[in-house]
Amino acid sequence: MSNTSNNYSSKHLKWKLLRKHISPAQLVGFSLASLIGLTIVILAVQFHQDVRPIFNDEESFIKKDYLIITRSVSTAGTLLGGSNEFSQAAIDDIEAQPWCRKVGKFSSNDYSLYATISVGGAGGGAMGTMLFFESIPSEFIDVADSDWKFDPEKPEIPVIMSRDYLSLYNFGFAASQGLPQISEGIVSKVPLDFTLRGNGHNDTMKGRIVGFSNRLNTIVVPQEFMKWSNERYGSGIDRNPSRLILEVNSPGDVKMQRYFDDHGYQVAGEKMQQGKAQYFLNLIVSIVIVVGIIISVLAFFVLMLSIYLLLQKNTKKLQDLLLLGYSPAQVSQPYINMVLAINAAVLVLAVIIMLLARAYYLPMLQAMGTSGGTIIIALIVAVVIMTLISVGNIIAIKRKIKALWIQQS
């Protein structure tokens, strides 16, 4: 009990001796600067996490972005019989760009194709239309199905259709004609017959819709079927594609847009516009984070300057304590405790302010159809930044006290 009391008394006397020249104004200035810098950083990180789902269709930590591109169709090119196909050299050049991860080629049927849908089962009527098929590598398809394969020995054609086509029927054609709307599950059970003609062959094959795609605005079949059917009913010659699907780093990359403009490529849909919005969001958030980090670094140096001035004013007292047998670690501990207390308070206040600001803007984002993102990343960033600042403070304090100890020795 006596040792504990003596230790407490010794620590109290040390702190009472060393705190004499502490400037509350300097500490408050550091705390405010550090609080502002940290709050800016974690609020920007959290806002980015909350807004990102608005731009992202696929929920994943590292999201893959896809673009479908074609060559621009001009009046002069049409009249002069120009080609809108991509040569292998053009494909290689696109794949070599830093913003491009992968390139997939669209292949299409070069034979006559007629689709028939049975209505009302046996004895019912049927609706039919001329149709087309396209295929791309399976890695670019956003529908997972175990039946996504084709076996010539068991000729059933699996088909993936754009979800927009079903919406067009339900909310356009069906609504105007007084027909019932149908779900994806019902459509998947509708019997399909495909009549393939060409190269002296005329066959009818069964088909089945195995899924609906948000990414592909077309009718897709497996590449194995496309290769087999083109060889049997078509010329069998591999033609250059007129459309490409690209997996890219960021669909709003300015360099990518400039490349497309220079080469006369067009991007299907609104993906490029969404990508631009996301690109500028990322750019603005990055700028805000950098500003916050700069403020935090400046606050760190303000604190270090304050501590160095304080140590300088207390040089004589510190030397006396070292002469009395206190170790450098014991002498530096009061300053370390002070820094840790200030940094902990700044961390807690910054997180509270971030949560209050998030509670203010989150209802606006929810009105746009998103519930926001996780707060874990922002909390990790806050803890990492304040840990780094605290470690830097502690190292600087210990080095200064050790330097005085060496001089005293």
Nearest to 116, CA basis, from 189, 203, 192: 192
Cα separation of 211 and 157, whole Å? 13
Shared-domain flag, residues 330 and 400? yes
Cα separation of 183 and 346, whole Å? 54
Shared-domain flag, residues 230 and 337? no
> Is residue 2 one of the residues assigned to a domain?
no
pLDDT at 22: 60
Shared-domain flag, residues 172 and 88? yes
SS3 82: coil
pTM for the predicted model, two decimal places? 0.55
pLDDT at 349: 93
Nearest to 161, CA basis, from 220, 87, 82: 220
> Is residue 344 one of the residues assigned to a domain?
yes
pLDDT at 356: 93
The tokens 């270090």 sit on which residue?
304
- Domain boundary (249, 271, 293) is at 271
Quick one: CA dihedral 379, 385, 386, 390, positive or negative?
Answer: positive
Q: Which two tokens stand for residue 315?
A: 């040089």
Shared-domain flag, residues 262 and 294? no
- Domain boundary (271, 289, 304) is at 271
What's the domain range around 203?
65-271
Q: Which two tokens stand for residue 66?
A: 């896809």
pLDDT at 57: 45
> Is residue 203 one of the residues assigned to a domain?
yes
Cβ atoms 103, 95 nearer than 8 A? yes
**DSSP run (H or E) holding 243:** strand 243-248
Shared-domain flag, residues 248 and 365? no
Cβ atoms 130, 111 nearer than 8 A? no
Averages of pLDDT over runs of 10 residues in the chain (409 residues) are 46 52 68 82 83 57 68 56 79 90 90 79 63 88 76 84 80 73 78 89 88 84 90 85 86 79 79 61 74 72 67 63 64 78 90 90 76 85 88 80 64
Give the DSSP letter of residue 151.
B
Q: How many separate domains does the chain show?
A: 2
Count of alpha carbons within 13 Å of 214, Cβ hemisphere only? 9
pLDDT at 1: 45
> Is residue 173 one of the residues assigned to a domain?
yes
SS3 269: coil
Shared-domain flag, residues 172 and 141? yes
Shared-domain flag, residues 111 and 251? yes
Cα separation of 134 and 282, whole Å? 35
Burial classification of residue 35, based on how many CB atoms lie within 10 Å of its CB (0-12 exposed, 13-18 middle, 19 or more buried): buried
> Is residue 3 one of the residues assigned to a domain?
no
Nearest to 158, CA basis, from 208, 217, 116: 208
> Is residue 101 one of the residues assigned to a domain?
yes
Shared-domain flag, residues 202 and 314? no
Shared-domain flag, residues 198 and 244? yes
